[in-house]
Chain A
């Protein structure tokens, strides 16, 4: 059982993408049970943070340290990070025709459980769980049999991400602009999914442009990321302030 009192601790993280430095000495600490919202202008490095955390190829940490549940995250391969309980809900989920949603889900959950030394769910039990998860995000069960994200609408893709998250039961969930392109109904479905998963030993990092999502997923902390570092942190009222004032007054502080 996970006992550390820190879920994620990022110290002085620098990262580059294709020789371009994006994150500059970023610091962030997330404790179990907390929800952190990360906001900021375009190009600030919000998505880069999620990508570095999940280990996406091409996103290179050049300095600093990331501790995930007491372990050195940067030393882990991406699939190990996932099996350890890190989950990234993609901003643009990928379509994989010919491989069904159900196949992906079973393979993922099997891998995560095997890593934790737990027995695999039987096909029948897992099917039941998957159907429940479908219901929770308001997707028809037929989506389980369809190719991964194949021909899904934008909203369906995002809900599918949340369904994967529910079944994988991660410790740290990173939502990368999951609200982009969602209508109010879909936004509520996504938020309900996240809220249902809130627990004392699970944390969330919610990357978003808009305050709107935070009406439904109420964060413990709001951070503003600008020019590759966190320039301001506060509670949920900061999001409202940003909505009113924009980012420019903070960007000047970052330089």
Chain B
């Protein structure tokens, strides 16, 4: 066990616990303890150093209050759940419908329901930081829709960090269970209110029942100094549909994993991702899609714009099991490097053991296109603005696909500003 592992374990023991989850927590603590700590020689961590994580003494954050709801929140007609430094804030949250339960407020029956689902979709033995997340778990959200239930409003979960002066470990947990033909829209949004350097460890489990439909958005635009280790684990049952969207700006260390398993025939995954690291930031997306059964489809598109001396990693794997005949799977990863010191390590992988499938994957790395740049400049647009427009356009195509209009409207100007703080170069991209 490395020094960091044992320190993290102490931290896990300090976090306020829910007695009924003790077995699960202990099991994960044991896994964590036994885990061989990854190095740069470990394939999954080859391009991302954990040094900034290891070199900090993390602590469980003290209770913090907000003066008001931060401006950074999306203007959404939604059921909102606000967490501040890992703790639920009833003051800023909506009244929760029956389908939403906080782990800390779960009735014995709900506890039982949670326990039957918890860490079932997430394969914790295969995911290091989900082990720590579970071991240190203090609070969580359970969204449970029964058969045919459709939520009228999206569920908007906001994880806010506000500075406490310490190096805060902020854990979060979202468990979504949709039974047959249920439908929901869920948005997870990570926000930091200062330049402090918290570490988010955020685990999401999505269990999507037969014929159920989930739209899941995960927006991670925290401060440059923050760390983020996150994972989304999903199981897709027969004829279900998951539409996933994820966007991350860079930070000192940001690593987000998607693990999706097609476990029922006819399931459909559409996963789109955008990463925008700049300065000296890092973003690392690892995705793994398992086609275990026949007749499922996957469409995965990730695009990144990497600037300055930033580094990004995209490692996308689609694994077609022997039984998964008639699979249709496509994965595309396109990268735009806007500086000659920017770096991308991309590795799209298809592993196919079935013989009757249609699969494609591809990755591109490019610079801004001179022809496009000249076209804009020849219309009188400054080169600086033209560069921002082209970078923005490169990823905006994916934003245009977002089905929830309010998210699109909120995201657009913020994404534009990720390419240029100066109003002159972004203002034509920011409009209603």
Which A residues have a C-beta under 8 Å from some C-beta of B? 54-57, 77-79, 81-83, 88, 90, 93-94, 96-99, 103-104, 106-108, 110-112, 115, 123, 147-148, 164, 168
Contact = CB atoms under 8 A, between A and B. Distances in A.
Contacts of B395: 98
Nearest to B376: A104
Contacts, number: 83
Given A56-B374, A57-B370, A97 B379 contact: no
A94 B376 CA distance: 9
Interface stretch (B72-80, B342-350, B351-359, B385-393): B385-393
Contacts of A110: 428
Contacts of B371: 94
Interface size class of B (residues with CB under 8 A): 20 to 34
Nearest to A109: B380
B431 interface: yes
B400 interface: yes
Interface in B398-432: 400, 428-429, 431
Contacts of B393: 96-99, 147
B379 A164 contact: yes
Nearest to A114: B380
Contact of A99 (B369, B374, B377, B389): B389
Nearest to B394: A98
Nearest to A107: B428
A82 B377 CA distance: 8
Given A98-B393, A98-B395, A99-B392, A107 B385 contact: yes
Contact of B378 (A82, A99, A115): A82
Contact of A111 (B375, B380, B392): B380
Given A99-B390, A99-B392, A99-B396, A94 B380 contact: no
B381 interface: yes
Q: What are the 9 A-B residue pairs with the smallest beta carbon separation, nearest first? A: A98-B393, A82-B380, A98-B396, A108-B379, A99-B393, A111-B380, A107-B428, A94-B375, A83-B380
A91 B428 CA distance: 26
Contacts of B372: 94, 96
Contact of B392 (A57, A83, A98): A98
Contacts of B369: 94
A112 B429 CA distance: 17
Contacts of B2: none
B152 interface: no
B382 A88 contact: no
A96 B371 CA distance: 10
Contacts of A77: 377
Given A79-B382, A106-B428, A111-B382, A96 B375 contact: yes
Given A57-B370, A98-B397, A103 B429 contact: yes
B396 A115 contact: no
A239 B370 CA distance: 35
B383 interface: yes
Interface string B159-199: 00000000000000000000000000000000000000000
A47 B392 CA distance: 30
Contacts of A83: 380
Contacts of A57: 370, 374
A138 B266 CA distance: 45
Contacts of B394: 98
A148 B392 CA distance: 13
Nearest to B303: A98
Given A106-B428, A123-B431, A96 B390 contact: yes
Contacts of B429: 99, 103
A78 B378 contact: yes
A103 B428 contact: yes
11 contacts: A77-B377, A83-B380, A94-B375, A99-B396, A103-B389, A103-B431, A108-B380, A108-B381, A111-B379, A112-B380, A147-B397
A115 B372 CA distance: 22
Given A98-B396, A98-B400, A56 B378 contact: yes
